[in-house]
Amino acid sequence: MQARRAARELALILFSQFDKVISKYSTDDFNEILLKSVRILTNNASNDLKLTIGPLIDMKQYLDEYEANDKSNLQRPLEAKDLPVPLPMTSDMKDKIDELLDIAEKALMALEIAEFTTLENKTDVQAYTVKIAEAYKQHAEEVDNIIKDHAKGWDFDRLVKVDKDILRIAISELLFVEQVPHKVVVDEAVELAKKYSTDDSSAFVNGLLAKVIFENGIK
């Protein structure tokens, strides 16, 4: 995971912790909130990883017993006992597979969190996270007005907060942080929306940012 990608995700977490107008926060406040957030995420990641161990062991045992005891397996000719036999896709098996996928996704997310929390200890990650927050702090009214102007058919106050924060981060980067490839900013904003928001959010974020890029002549 690249440093700036980690910084953007940390920025989203940082923004989610704001409980007052951003102008009230200092750079020291940003750093303090960021470190507290990282500690919480690290603990959550550790707990999630520990919780996956037991279910995965149970799942392996279940699948082993299922294969050994299934009637179709017991009725095989003896000479074919060593050949692999597909397991019947019963509704019960599908539920177990879905459960396994859910466990795997939680483990993957925990590993990703652990990865970027490790990166957070690097000064460039923390510095860029705070740089994004400072850019938004200095231009908060302008950034929010851009979102309001381009969110056609959407009431700004009723937008999902995580969507607003993703857009605030991306627009602050696009307009007020130098030497940032706009395609990378948009792609990663869309990925954040897919990961943290609703099914419709990624398309909404992508479309709004495309308008911002076009109207500001960003190349």
> How confident is the model over 165-216, as pLDDT tens digits?
999 999 999 999 988 899 999 999 999 999 899 888 999 999 999 999 999 9
- Phi, psi of 176, deg, nearest 5: -130, 5
CB-based burial, 11-21: b 16+ in 10 Å, e otherwise? bbbbbeebeee
pLDDT tens readout for residues 70-108: 655 545 554 544 545 555 545 566 677 667 767 777 776
Q: What does the pLDDT read at residue 86? A: 52
Does residue 17 surpass a pLDDT of 60?
yes
Picking from 16-30, 42-56, 107-121, which range would have the lowest pLDDT averaged per residue? 107-121
> Under a CB-based contact definition with an 8 Å cutoff, are residues 12 and 194 in contact?
no
Work out the pLDDT band at 3, boundaries 50, 70, 90: confident
Tokens of 39: 């500690």
